[in-house]
Amino acid sequence: MSVFLASESDPIAHIVDKGVFGFNLFERPLMLSMITLVVCAIVLFFLMHRAAKSIATGPVAMGNRRFIPIGSFAALVEVVIVYLRNEMLIPVMGERLTKRYLSFLLSLFFFILALNIVGLIPFVDIQDALYGLMGKKFDIQDHETAAIFGGAATASISVTSGLALISFIVIQFQGFRELGVKGWLEHLCGGHELVHGPIFLWLVIPIVFFVEFFGLFVKPAALAIRLFANMVAGHTLLITLTMFGAMAIKAGLGTFAVGGITIVSGIGAILITFLEVFVAVLQAFIFMFLTAVFISLMAHEEGEEHSDHAIDDGHAASAMTAAH
């Protein structure tokens, strides 16, 4: 039993990113999340490539069946993409911006989703268990692991910060591209109406600039912290539930009590796992959707987008509320 994670006394210790035993990169330990990122990226690419082949229009010889996706995975991917594009992104960003950023946003969503889902599968625990069964031949420290793949990469603030930085760059790229440097600065100062408005309103501009400038960094930081915190919280709860059995053994409880606690906590863990699957999808969606909202806000000064945003602000506000 001791070989399993449930024997660990600190659930957080199980969640945090650890160095892969025996591997270094630039004189720093190679972190488990790095391998997971690479593996997830490769697997995601091949899965999506396969789905794309199924969804893409087939040869003419297939007749009308060439338009039908082959396989349930491809159908699922298609449903998700169509839903995200038609029901979420186009209402918020409009046709033009959706077309421009759809590729990036879909990549963001599916990449985070893949990382979240992989984090729910106990690859690390299985490898640790195998290592334990082999007799623990190496001197592995607490900040290291014998596993070479797995773990919740999105439960690492370093990973979510990286993703948030990418979102930040894309959001600001959109700002400069749509508004130009002058428009971007005007946006930071409260917009064209405020800057070119009555002189007495200029007193407000420094305050607006301060808020907007920090907002530039707070928005992606919130994205990173939200994803990280949700993943950490979910996994902590899950690990805590699975630890109850081992804690009962350590506490010296009887067989009946240990069995009861294990069964109850096991059922709870299974139920929480279902919830975590939902959270994994939801957090991937929220990260992607809020990025889309922030991108669309950078086109706010454009006349053609005004009508869209009049509606979409409500959409974005409800999404923000849901995210919090």
Partner 1 sequence: MLIAATDPLAFNLLPFITTIVVFTVVALALGMFVWPKILKGLEDRNAKILHEIESAEAARAAAASKQKEFEQKLAEALEQAAQMIREAKSEAVRMGDEIRAKSEADLAERARRAGEEIENARRAAIAELESHAATLAVSIAGRILKREINPADQKRMIEESVTGMSAMSGKRN
Residue 57 lies near partner 1 (rule: CB under 8 A): yes
* Cα 191 from Cα 67, distance rounded (Å): 47
Residue 25 lies near partner 1 (rule: CB under 8 A): yes
Q: How far is the CB of 309 from partner 1 (least distance, A)?
A: 25
Q: Which stretch binds partner 1 (CB under 8 A): 136-144, 244-252, 302-310, 311-319?
A: 136-144
Interaction residues for partner 1, span 180-239 (CB under 8 A): 228, 232
232: tokens are: 């950490």
Residue 153 lies near partner 1 (rule: CB under 8 A): yes
Give the dihedral sign, CA 237/242/243/245. positive
Q: How many residues bind partner 1 (CB under 8 A)?
A: 60
Q: How far is the CB of 59 from partner 1 (least distance, A)?
A: 12
Binds partner 1 by CB under 8 A, chosen from 5, 6, 33, 94? 33
Residue 265 lies near partner 1 (rule: CB under 8 A): no
Q: In what order do the strands lie in the sheet containing 19-25?
A: 28-31, 19-25, 144-145
* Cα 289 from Cα 310, distance rounded (Å): 18
* Cα 226 from Cα 250, distance rounded (Å): 35
Residue 313 lies near partner 1 (rule: CB under 8 A): no
Give the dihedral sign, CA 34/165/43/271. positive
Binds partner 1 by CB under 8 A, chosen from 77, 92, 258, 295? 77
250: tokens are: 């350590």
* Cα 297 from Cα 152, distance rounded (Å): 31
Q: Count Cβ neighbours within 10 Å for each residue of 2-20 and write b for 16 or more, e otherwise.
A: eebbbebeebeebbbbbbb
Residue 156 lies near partner 1 (rule: CB under 8 A): yes
Contact in structure between 145 and 128 (CB atoms under 8 Å): yes
Give the dihedral sign, CA 106/97/231/269. negative
Binds partner 1 by CB under 8 A, chosen from 3, 70, 102, 140? 102
Residue 34 lies near partner 1 (rule: CB under 8 A): yes
Q: How far is the CB of 152 from partner 1 (least distance, A)?
A: 10
Binds partner 1 by CB under 8 A, chosen from 4, 23, 73, 104? 104
Residues in touch with partner 1 (CB under 8 A): 10, 12-13, 15-19, 25-26, 28-31, 33-34, 37-38, 41, 44-45, 48-49, 51-53, 55-57, 64, 67, 69, 77-78, 81-82, 102-104, 106-108, 110-111, 142-144, 153, 155-159, 161-163, 165-166, 228, 232
